[in-house]
Amino acid sequence: MQEPAVIIPVVLCGGSGTRLWPLSREGYPKQFLKLLGDRSLLQDTLLRVQGIPGIGAPLLVTSHAHRFMVAEQAREIGISDGEFMLEPHARNTAPALAAAAAALHALAAGQDPLMLVLPSDHLIRDTSAFASIVTQGVAAAQAGALVTFGIAPTAPATGYGYIKAGARRTESSFEVACFEEKPSLPRANQFLAEGGYFWNSGIFLFRASAFLAELEAFSPEILRAVQESVSLGQKDLDFFRLDEAAFARCPSNSIDYAVMEHTTRAQMVPFATEWSDVGAWDAVWKLGTKQADGNVTTGDVLTHNAKDCLVHASHRLVAIAGVEDVMVVETPDAVLVVHKDQCQDVKALVDMVRKQGRSEAADHRKVYRPWGSYDSVDEGQRYQVKRITVKPGAKLSMQMHYHRAEHWIVVKGTARVTCGNETFLLSENQSSYIPLGTIHRLENPGSVPLELIEVQSGSYLGEDDIVRFDDVYGRAPAPGSKAELA
């Protein structure tokens, strides 16, 4: 009798989701957004697996830039046993999964667990159906198959890869006859007319050893670089940091190109429930709760004689009248207006923003940090105003600036301030001045969030004007290097 499967969810937390700009950005991509409810797509992904028999603690693969956001969102939903692996460079899905497989295989004490590979930005509302579908692939995966899950197509989509089902292998799975790249519209229509074609979901289930063996056969250069990166990797707080130099030598490739299109072990389980990769604003409109006129609204919105529109207001009143099939997305520093049929072209707009060197491509006005967040409220020549929020018990690094002085005014909570050789407390409506060149630190010793207004003044106000002397989050860039705000 076969032993019960041990299944480790491996959640891929990379990607920038540019088609959901301006809400999704490089610094805060779509998996962290609460687009369709009170939880983010990442949080829904983590909770979705809880009903699967044999499920273990998740392994989340993310980047240095997003590490604290991933950990915080997991903590918010009560997941405290997850492991976090940091990729030093973006190298697509094959190296990320190779690193996860190598680490799990080394640490599993001979158990050789199944890896349930999950993108972090998909929407699957029926969690019981999801658990049932994953369970249908367990027997094949335990026997050594690389199981992929195919979505029954509902339209001739040209933005997905396709899987052609071959002969039935088990009651629930089929051989994979071939993988088809993103097709032209006529070819996608042909797939639907022929039948037996499925969208490639990017969800997989396989033994760690089986995946490593196929990497050895078809992409050994990836395997070698990743194995070295894992063996030389180091623990950093709650994160496992892959070795940067070894990982940099790893070719960039997807799991489909590197393994799945070559292996003879591939099997497919049909995914017979609602699924969306929430790839663009028209998808958000389709999934949203519609009013009588077909509009989907979020925030402070007024509509008049408008039909089948999406309006997302995050910072101010947005009013529309006399329009149909329009997507309007407002943030504090950018507004998008696009016709529903042109939502895929948002990526081209983001490319234009990026080529102009504008910050709106990468960061929101509000930027999240491990200690809390800051919102750039106003700026001008030689000054900048920020609203800073520090979580209870958190502290910024001990630091100094060469080119700016700062004024801090407490709005809510209690601040512990270190300024030179002095340390003192500030309460609401009290303030402090930090002279240029003075070593300083801000802490929240209280049990409620600390909110304060920071007014910076000086000849240069860039975020790279910072020298850290001590940091509880392990961030210690060398003087003069580009750095995160402390």
Whether 277 maps to a domain, the answer reads no
What is the reported pLDDT for 479?
40
Torsion, CA 243, CA 247, CA 249, CA 250, rounded to 10: 160
Residue 480 within any structural domain of the chain: no
Residue 71 sits in the same domain as residue 170: yes
Give the number of domains in the chain: 3
Whether residue 48 contacts residue 127, with contact meaning beta carbons closer than 8 Å, is answered with: yes
Contacts of 249 (CB under 8 A, 6+ apart): 225
> Residue 486: inside a domain, yes or no?
no
Q: Quote the domain boundaries for residue 430.
A: 366-470
- Please state which of the ranges 61-70, 288-297, 393-402 shows the lowest mean pLDDT: 61-70
Assess whether pLDDT exceeds 60 at residue 124: yes
Q: Is residue 476 part of a domain?
A: no
Does residue 485 sit within a domain? no
CATH of the domain at 200: 3.90.550.10
Q: Is residue 479 part of a domain?
A: no
Residues 199 and 50 in one domain: yes
Could you tell me which residues come within 8 angstroms of residue 57 by beta carbon, excluding any fewer than 6 positions away?
Answer: 8, 81, 82, 83
**Domain assignment of residue 483, yes or no:** no
Residue 14 — pLDDT band, cuts 50, 70, 90? confident
- Mean pLDDT within 391-400: 95
**Mean pLDDT, rounded, for 221-245:** 92
- The predicted-structure confidence for 270-281, as pLDDT tens digits, reads as follows 998 999 999 999
318-321 and 301-304 beta bridge pairing: parallel
pLDDT, tens only, 90-123: 899 999 999 999 999 877 656 789 999 999 999 9
Q: Looking at the structure, do residues 245 and 334 belong to the same domain, yes or no?
A: no
Q: Using the 3D structure, point to which of 214, 248, 271 is the last residue of a domain.
A: 271
Instruction: Tell whether the model's pLDDT for residue 32 goes beyond 90.
Output: yes
**Whether the predicted pLDDT of 1 surpasses 60:** no
Q: Are residues 402 and 299 in the same domain?
A: no
| CATH number of the domain where residue 412 is located | 2.60.120.10
Q: Are residues 31 and 166 in the same domain?
A: yes
Query: Same domain, yes or no, for 162 and 219?
Result: yes
Q: Do 302 and 261 fall within a single domain? A: no
Of 251, 271, 291, the last residue of a domain is: 271
Q: Which residue has the higher pLDDT, 443 or 14?
A: 443
Predicted TM-score (pTM) of the model is: 0.88
Q: Which of 354, 382, 401 is the last residue of a domain?
A: 354
User: What local confidence, expressed as pLDDT, does residue 250 receive?
Assistant: 93
Q: What is the mean pLDDT of the chain?
A: 92
Same domain, yes or no: 32 and 128? yes
Do 44 and 130 belong together in one domain? Answer: yes
Q: What is the mean predicted confidence (pLDDT) over 327-346?
A: 96
In degrees to the nearest 10, what's the CA dihedral of 200, 203, 207, 210? 30
d(CA 361, CA 357): 8
100 and 225 part of one domain: yes
Q: How confident is the model at residue 481 (pLDDT cuts 50, 70, 90)?
A: very low
Clarify whether residues 161 and 204 are in a common domain.
yes
> Per the domain annotation, does 1 fall within a domain?
no
